[in-house]
Structure formats: C-alpha cells, structure tokens
Amino acid sequence: MYLFKNNTCIYINWIYKEIKQINKEDNMKQSINLKDTKDVKYLCSWNGNDIVQIHTKETLLNDYKDSNLFDDNDDMLFETMGNGFDNFKFKDYLKLSSKDEDFINVNFICDNMEIKRIV
C-alpha cells in the first residue's frame, strides 16, 4: 500500500498493520451461536484450509457472485467421495441441502473448495 514517498509511505503501512492487528484481536472474544437465526449455514474452505469461512446461501452469493463458483458448468461438480449422495452443480447443491437435513455434516468437494452444511 504505497501512496506517498518516504516517511509518509512508511506511516501508512504502519497504520495498515495496526488496523489488521486490532481486527485480529477483536475477533472471537465470545462464542458464536450458529442457531441464533434459522438460516442454513455452511462451513466452507478453500485450498485445504488456507481460507475457512461460515456462510449462508446469501453470503456465498454476495461474496462470490463474481467468481466462477455459481457458473452452470457441467465440469464443476461437487462430489461427496462415497457418502451415498449424487454429484451436484453448486446451485443445485445449495438448493437441495438448504431443504434437507440429511446434508448436515456431509462434505462436498469441487476442485479447491470444500463445503459442508453445519446447521
């Protein structure tokens, strides 16, 4: 993040690092009740566990609408790796899993993303 030269640039970088540290320290000061709302929630991870997030259908759409996650591509199927479920396109998975509690705690994997309905 380089906006100016010399000391101003160093100062901006220092502020940026301080804000990031404050945000880290503010996270998880208390427990999170995932059943506070009736929304179905998913545990999502990318690239192993480089990124781990909890989402609803709406937050997934908001955060990843500009990615290829919601593309209607026959080559991008989410698989269960032997749990007895069919393979699904992402939109179909979200539609079915949001209505059927049998999907709770079943991992689906596609390329570098893993998703599991948790509530």
pLDDT beyond 50 at 28: yes
- Mean pLDDT confidence for 95-109: 93
Has residue 36 been placed in a domain?
no
pLDDT beyond 70 at 21: no
Q: Give the amino acid at 71.
A: D
- Cα 48 to Cα 5, 36, 37, 44: the distances in Å are 39, 28, 28, 10
Q: What is the pTM of this model?
A: 0.74
Distance CA 44, CA 55 (A): 7
For residues 93 and 13, which has the higher predicted lDDT (pLDDT)?
93
- Sign of the torsion angle spanned by Cα atoms 97, 87, 71, 110: positive
Number of domains in the chain: 2
Has residue 35 been placed in a domain?
no
Strands of 1-119 (E only): list them. 42-46, 51-55, 107-110, 113-117
Residue 4: the pLDDT is 44
Has residue 37 been placed in a domain?
no
What is the domain range of residue 104?
42-117
For residue 81, the 8-state DSSP code is S
Residue 18: the pLDDT is 59
The predicted-structure confidence for 78-88, as pLDDT tens digits, reads as follows 998 767 788 99
